[in-house]
């Protein structure tokens, strides 16, 4: 076969480079596929009923943060199995302890250690308050905002299955005992109030106008998640929609559901994981009755700082805006294998919110939101292990191991938890 002329070879080389660059860029916008370890039940034993005597704490303190944890030795397999063992509390007040075995940990793709920035700020709201109050019930009850729920102990959570809620462990347990409100735990789902019968017609122009407004608002939210400007061309529609979200309207109401059982990892308990208890600040609640609301799947991402625009998003029920859902987004400032430091504006009440990002599904052009962490709130962290306290807004990351555990809690079948 003869040599290709230069005028043919050059365009082919350029084409290959363009395709490779496009593929690399597309990779950044696509959910990675992770082979996760399996968490299997070894043994379950009954325990005495909890006292339910702990009091909620508006701010957590004394946790060993990213800098402090760098000085700790890596956890062994036996340690991890102990930390991932868990307690289950049932609605009748009974309690059990389940020990677990972790299989396939060495087969998991290496979980990279990320380079962190050294930025520092203070306070729960940093400078200008950038939170959005989703006060329009026609918007707050639509996905993805509809996945956010209110916990009766004063926290937030997120639906991760038709009947399971992911939240922060400290919303249920203070590390020594369960909160006094956890014995009759309830979860509130935002609902639309029906005003039919008072002059409001079925269908018609009013219903069509609402659907059009909902669609426009969803488009604005999608653009914000992708780092684009919220304003749309033509007569300032985007700007009106953005302001509409913060306008006071009819106060939202909740449909409350009792919790059937609560599961908390042993790593969260005092004296179990040493300085690593901050890594295990998550819990799963199983509802007695599944609300007819779309949930959000879990996802695993190796580096949040490297995703397009580097943004995370979450919605919760901040105490300073009673009854209203509050949405925010911001960039990640620092991350480790298990923790994320960020400066998303937040107030007490938003703890337990599901932190999510939006990427494309593998092999598809469709975008999908997934929960990649749990916002644990404004915390005072032991920075260097010498007792010096620094405040941060902190989130716990969903790692392959945590994904395996939470997936097992939700499905009860490890065969459904092999790939994230």
Q: Tens digit of pLDDT for each residue in 18-77?
A: 333 344 445 778 999 888 999 999 999 999 999 999 998 877 888 888 888 888 888 999
pLDDT tens track for 91-145:
999 999 999 999 988 776 566 554 444 444 444 665 678 888 887 777 788 899 9
Domain span at 153: 30-52+64-109+126-192+251-411
**190: part of which helix (H) or strand (E)?**
strand 186-191
Using a pLDDT cut of 70, give the percent of the chain over it. Answer: 74
Q: Is 136 a domain residue?
A: yes
Please give the pLDDT value at position 100: 97
Do 138 and 210 form a contact (C-beta atoms < 8 A)? yes
The sign one gets for the Cα dihedral 152, 155, 158, 160 is negative
Assigned domain for 258 exists: yes
User: Of 205-209, 270-274, 313-317, where does the model show the most confidence?
Assistant: 313-317
Task: Please check whether residue 45 lies inside any domain of the structure.
Answer: yes
pLDDT, mean of residues 232-244 = 40
Q: Which two three-digit tokens encode residue 5?
A: 């002329």
Q: What is the DSSP letter of 35?
A: B
Residue 157: band (very low, low, confident or very high) from pLDDT cuts 50, 70, 90: very high
What share of the chain in percent tops pLDDT 90?
48
Q: Is the pLDDT of residue 388 over 90?
A: no
222 in a domain, yes or no? no
327: its two tokens: 């949405």
Cis peptide bond N-terminal to 144, omega within 30? yes
Do residues 398 and 300 touch, judged by C-beta distance below 8 A?
A: yes
Residue 245 exposure: Cα atoms within 13 Å on the Cβ side: 26
Sorting pLDDT into bands at 50, 70 and 90, what band is 305?
Answer: confident
Q: What is the pTM of this model?
A: 0.81
Q: Is the pLDDT of residue 275 over 90?
A: no
Ranges 13-22, 77-86, 303-312, 350-359: which has the least confidence = 13-22
List 370's β-bridge partners, or say none.
Answer: 357
How many domains are there within the chain? 1
Tokens 């060495």 sit on residue: 106
Counts for the chain of helices (H) and strands (E), in that order = 7, 17
* pLDDT surpasses 60 at 225: no
Tell me what the pLDDT averaged over the chain comes to.
80
Give me the CATH number covering residue 144: 2.40.10.120
Summarize the chain as % helix, strand, coil (round to 5). Answer: 25, 30, 45
pLDDT at 199 over 90: no
Q: Is residue 3 part of a domain?
A: no
In a domain, 46, yes or no: yes
Q: Does some domain include residue 69?
A: yes
Higher-pLDDT residue of 69 and 279 is: 279
Answer yes or no: is 332 within a domain. yes
Asked if 352 and 167 count as a contact pair (C-beta separation under 8 A), the reply is yes
């Amino acid at each position: 076969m003869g040599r290709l002329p230069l005028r043919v070879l050059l365009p082919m080389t350029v084409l290959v480079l363009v395709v490779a660059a496009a593929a690399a860029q597309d990779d950044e916008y696509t959910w990675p596929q992770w082979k996760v370890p399996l968490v299997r039940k070894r043994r379950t034993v009954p325990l005495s009923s909890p006292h339910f005597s702990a009091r909620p704490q508006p701010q957590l303190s004394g946790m060993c943060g990213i800098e402090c944890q760098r000085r700790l030795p890596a956890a062994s397999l036996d340690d991890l199995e102990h930390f991932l063992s868990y307690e289950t509390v049932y609605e009748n007040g009974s309690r059990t302890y389940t020990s677990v075995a972790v299989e396939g940990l060495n087969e998991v793709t290496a979980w990279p250690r990320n380079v962190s920035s050294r930025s520092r700020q203070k306070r729960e709201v940093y400078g200008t308050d950038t939170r959005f109050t989703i006060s329009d019930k026609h918007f707050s009850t639509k996905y993805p905002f509809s996945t956010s729920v209110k916990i009766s102990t004063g926290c937030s959570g997120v639906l991760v299955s038709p009947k399971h809620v992911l939240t922060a462990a400290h919303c249920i347990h203070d590390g020594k005992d369960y909160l006094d409100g956890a014995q009759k735990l309830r979860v509130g789902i935002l609902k639309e109030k029906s005003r039919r019968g008072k002059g409001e017609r079925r269908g018609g122009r009013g219903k069509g106008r609402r659907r059009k407004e909902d669609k426009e608002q969803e488009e604005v939210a999608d653009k914000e998640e992708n780092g684009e400007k919220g304003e749309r061309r033509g007569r300032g529609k985007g700007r009106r929609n953005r302001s509409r979200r913060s306008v006071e309207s009819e106060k939202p109401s909740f449909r409350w559901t009792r919790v059937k059982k609560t599961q908390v990892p042993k790593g969260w308990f005092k004296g179990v994981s040493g300085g690593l208890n901050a890594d295990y600040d998550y819990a799963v609640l199983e509802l007695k009755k599944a609300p007819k609301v779309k949930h959000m799947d879990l996802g695993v991402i190796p580096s949040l700082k490297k995703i397009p625009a580097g943004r995370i998003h979450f919605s919760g029920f901040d105490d300073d805006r009673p009854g209203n859902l509050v949405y925010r987004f911001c960039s990640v400032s620092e991350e480790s294998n298990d923790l994320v430091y960020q400066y998303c504006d937040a107030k007490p009440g938003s703890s337990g919110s599901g932190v999510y990002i939006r990427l494309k599904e593998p092999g598809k052009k469709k975008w999908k939101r997934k929960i990649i962490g749990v916002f644990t709130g404004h915390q005072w962290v032991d920075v260097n292990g010498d007792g010096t306290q620094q405040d941060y807004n902190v989130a716990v990351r969903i790692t392959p191991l945590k994904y395996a555990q939470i997936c097992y809690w939700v499905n009860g079948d490890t065969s459904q938890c092999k790939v994230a």
